Structure 1
């Protein structure tokens, strides 16, 4: 028995999934299902995401603690008048469950089951660690994402096993106040479904707990977007200065550009380290272009003044007072609302 367990522990993920339906009628240690062929074994489940401590968009992972409880009936283990027994999970038939999207997960509870005298078996476990999840932050910082933890039976087909969330509905859900304070959980659901992949010879029964989390954008608005907007507004002061004061206009425009460049070094650490552009990247690039256009406008008005075309320079300033705010408003709408 110990040699068999050692061998199975060393089996690769691909080898486990390659089990055929015929051989799936017994578990990893040769224990047949408690129900006869042609009927499905019913396994009640409850899964609760106890905490979410980190969401890492660069690694495409989130860190969480997940509690799991399973319940099924095995009439072969009925012992009238007996006591509850605690045995190793592998010593009885079990649904051979694993976490599909685990990245670096630790089991915090002993891998045992409670065998009741009426044949009811209870399995409790707590999983803690990283889970893989697709996280596309293109809408940063106003993005929201759906996260999930999926449990899959490694050996049984849909005709042999079913997961049901009836008895443990009160033990299924997601914490309302996770440790990751820069996200808020807006909704969750638990559901059962068939898991199919190209490498599988048949569909596996599975269930998952999903939750949707939205990023708290207030911090980024106050620390990033509002100061950046003020720098852009500062660059427009040149439109209200006398065009004959070319030195003052050039000095103000240059100050705005230098402030923007210095500020970009400080807020680069606030942006998610991804290889594609987000909405805030578009906003930053557009704001930078508007500040440089303000400097270009100063150069043009200075040239007009040097050629004694002061009325044209004043007319250009009046035109810029309306056009630049309109362009900024259009940029804001396109970056965050389009």
Structure 2
């Protein structure tokens, strides 16, 4: 009897072990497949219709862009070609991270075909923020970006890829006149709002630009150079004519202050000096130095000091040489 009970107990244990093994063989592959489920693939296309303005003072730009996303949703297959409200089915729910004042102009709808292929189209017009490195202004190169993310969706849930049907690009004729488009690039990369925070699936459209500096050369750099040169005329005037010499130097100084206010309108309040700042500030300092020299020469002349005439003569070449060094410092080094 004891042996019989042992056999029955052992048989029961083996049945339970068999059930457990059956469960592992049948359900573990399913669980593993679910855990290894690939993210939804979304093909992204972005086209810059127009780029109107880049505002260095506000650190933003005005653009007109078209975004198209394509993906496959088997749940929507077999219903023929139809349209759905964007919130009536799954969609990446894209958001523009660096939008300032942007308007969506197309209806929020999804286009679905017989096979379950879904297309989302939208056109965005408005201002986008973009930090600019203005240290080299006005001879600077900049990169501006349009950053789009899938709201509340991680890279494990959504994978953005380049559209296989059409390459992203820019319009052949843009409204912007003071920048040259060097190149553009679409990057499929996650976005993280805070260091160590949650990553969101997203992609970035980058534009690399070079500023046309001819406007600043003609409107600011050359006129300022002429004003500085005008301040040297005092050293060719009669050393006894103190009034006209001082008047000319003061006029040059005030004109440069007005140009300094003009250049400030192109820039935000920066914690550093740009190349244009160095140029205008150095020119102003040079004109002020010539004014001090004129006053000191006039004072020394009244006292009949012998070196006053010599200083006035040497100033004719000292100040042009200082100006050349200043130009090299401002725009070369």
TM-score normalized by the length of structure 2: 0.80
Q: 1:166 to 1:107 in 2, by over 3 A?
A: closer
Distance (Å, rounded) in 2 between the aligned partners of 1:197 and 1:278:
29
CA distance in 2, matches of 1:176, 1:64: 14
Moved more, 250-259 or 234-243: 250-259
What does residue range 37-56 of structure 1 map to in structure 2 within 5 Å? Answer: 38-56=37-55
* 2:120 corresponds to: 123
Quick one: which of 189, 195, 215 aligns to 2:185? Answer: 189
CA RMSD between the two structures:
2.5
Q: List aligned pairs for 1:145-224, cutoff 5 A.
A: 145-170=142-167, 172-198=168-194, 202-224=198-220
Q: Structure 1 residue 218: deviation in Å?
A: 1.3
- Alpha carbons 1:176, 1:185 under 8 Å: kept: no
Q: Any unmatched runs of 5+ in structure 2? A: 1-33
Residue 103 of structure 2 aligns with which residue? 106
Tell me how far apart the structure 2 counterparts of residues 223 and 115 of structure 1 sit (CA, whole Å): 55
Residue-by-residue CA offset, 1:94-151 (whole Å, 9 max, x unaligned): 1222111112221111111111112211111111112121124333222232111111
> Which residue among 141, 144, 157 is the counterpart of 2:141?
144
Deviations 1:150-178 (A, max 9, x none): 111123222222111041442x1233532
Please state how far the C-alpha of 1:189 moved relative to its aligned partner. Answer: 0.5
Sort the Cα spacing of 1:259 and 1:40 in 2 relative to 1 into closer, same or farther, 3 A: closer
- Measured after TM superposition, the shift of residue 258 of structure 1 is 4.2
The equivalent of 1:286 in structure 2 is 282
- Matched residue, 1:10: none
Q: Which consecutive unaligned segments of at least 5 residues does structure 1 have?
A: 1-34
Task: Identify if the C-alpha distance between structure 1 residues 54 and 331 changes in structure 2 by more than 3 Å, giving closer, same or farther.
Answer: same
Stretch moving more, 206-215 or 268-277:
268-277
Instruction: Compare CA radii of gyration and give the structure with the larger one.
Output: 2
- Name the residue aligned to 2:320: 325
| Cα distance, 1:201 vs structure 2 | 5.5
| 1:313 correspondence with 2:313 | no
Task: Give the CA deviation at 1:46.
Answer: 0.4
Matched length: 299
CA distance in 2 between counterparts of 1:327 and 1:315 reads 18
Determine the structure 1 residue equivalent to 2:71.
Answer: 72
Q: Per the alignment, in what secondary structure is the counterpart of residue 319 of structure 2?
A: helix
